[in-house]
Structure 1
Amino acid sequence: MTHSSPWQQRLATGTEDIQDEVIGWYQRTPRGKAYVPDMIWGTLQTEAYATVILRRVVDFLEVPDDVPAGVTKRMERQQVLYDGEHHYDVVLGEQGLYTNVGGPEVMVGQIERLLREIDLPSLTLGILPATAEVGIVPMSGFNMYGGDRVNYELVSSSVEITDPAELALHHKAFDALSRAASYGDDAKHLLGKALSFWSTPGSPLDDIRRRAD
Structure 2
Amino acid sequence: MSTDFQSGREALGARLRELRVESGLSGKEFAECVGWPPSKVSRLQGGKQTPSHADLEAWAAAAGRPEAVGELKARVAGLETTYRSWKRQLVQGHRARQEQGIAETAATRLIRGVEVVRVPGLLQTPDYARRVFEQAAEFRQTPRDVDAAVRARVRRQEALYDPDKRFEFVIHETALHARTSPAAVHAAQLDRLMGVIGLDTVRLGIIPLGAQLRRAPSHGFWIYDRRLVIVETIGTEMWLADEASVELYERSWDWLTESAVHGEKAQRLIGRVRSLLGAA
Query: Would you say the 8 A contact 1:128–1:180 is kept in 2?
Result: yes
Residue in structure 1 matching 2:180, options 101, 117, 120: 101
Structure with more strand by fraction = 1
CA distance in 2, matches of 1:83, 1:163: 28
Provide the rounded CA distance (Å) in 2 between the counterparts of 1:199 and 1:111: 12
2:229 pairs with 1:150: yes
Residues of 1 paired with 2:154 and 2:257: CA distance? 26
Q: Answer yes or no: is 1:58 the counterpart of 2:137.
A: yes
How far off is 1:79 after superposition? 0.3
Task: Indicate yes or no: 2:204 matched with 1:128.
Answer: no
Whether 1:74 aligns to 2:133 is no
> Which residue of the partner structure matches residue 33 of structure 1?
112
* Maintained 8 Å contact 2:205/2:261: yes
Match of 1:207 in 2: none
Distance apart, 1:136 and its partner CA? 1.6
Contact 1:43/1:74, CA 8 A, preserved across alignment? yes
Displacement of 1:138 after TM fit?
A: 3.3
* Cα offsets for 1:32-90 (capped at 9, x unmatched): 10110111000000000000000011111111111000000000000010121211110
Aligned to 2:51: none
Q: CA deviation at 1:200?
A: 5.6
Gaps of 5+ in 2: 6-81
Change in Cα spacing, 1:82 to 1:180, as seen in structure 2 (3 Å) is: same
Query: Does the 8 Å CA contact 2:217/2:256 hold for their aligned counterparts?
Result: no
Alpha-carbon distance in structure 2 between the residues aligned to 1:41 and 1:75? 12
1:160 to 230, 239, 242: 239
Q: Distance in 2 between matches of 1:102 and 1:37?
A: 17
In the alignment, the residues of structure 1 paired with residue 119 and residue 217 of structure 2 have an alpha-carbon distance, to the nearest angstrom, of 18
Question: Of the two, which has the highest radius of gyration?
Answer: 2
Cα distance in structure 2, aligned partners of 1:74 and 1:161: 22
Letter in 1 for 2:124: Q
Q: 1:138 to 1:31 in 2, by over 3 A?
A: closer
Query: How many Å apart are 1:199 and its aligned residue?
Result: 2.1
Does the CA-based 8 Å contact 1:126-1:178 persist in structure 2? Answer: yes
Give unpaired runs (5+ residues) of structure 1.
Answer: 202-213
Secondary structure of the corresponding residue to residue 13 of structure 1? coil
Give 1:131 deviation, angstroms: 1.1
Task: Tell me which amino acid in the other structure corresponds to 1:27.
Answer: A
2:196 corresponds to which of 97, 106, 117: 117
Shift of 1:174: 0.5
Q: Is the 8 A contact 2:229 2:239 kept in 1?
A: yes
In the other structure, the counterpart of 1:46 is 125
Q: Please point out which of 158, 170, 184 is paired with 1:91.
A: 170
Question: Is structure 2 residue 267 aligned with structure 1 residue 188?
Answer: yes
Q: Secondary structure of 1:84's partner?
A: coil
Rounded to whole Å, the distance in 1 between the matches of 2:144 and 2:100 is 18
On the 8 A contact 2:116/2:217 being kept in 1, the answer is no
Q: What SS does the aligned partner of 1:198 have?
A: coil
CA deviation digits over 1:184-210, x for unaligned, max 9?
A: 111011110011012268xxxxxxxxx
What is the TM-score when the length of structure 1 is the normalising length? 0.91
**C-alpha root-mean-square deviation of aligned residues, in Å?**
1.3
Counterpart residue identity of residue 269, structure 2: L
8 Å CA contact 1:104, 1:199 repeated in 2: no
Regions of 4+ moved over 4 Å: none
Q: Percent identity?
A: 27
Alpha-carbon distance in structure 1 between the residues aligned to 2:115 and 2:224? 14
Number of residue pairs the alignment of both structures matches: 201
For normalisation by structure 2, the TM-score amounts to 0.70
Give distance in 2, aligned partners of 1:126 and 1:99: 17
State the match for 1:209 in structure 2.
none
Looking at structure 2, the residues matched to 166 and 116 of structure 1 have their Cα atoms a distance apart, in angstroms, of 33
CA distance in 1, matches of 2:132, 2:217: 23
Which one of 250, 256, 278 corresponds to residue 171 of structure 1? 250
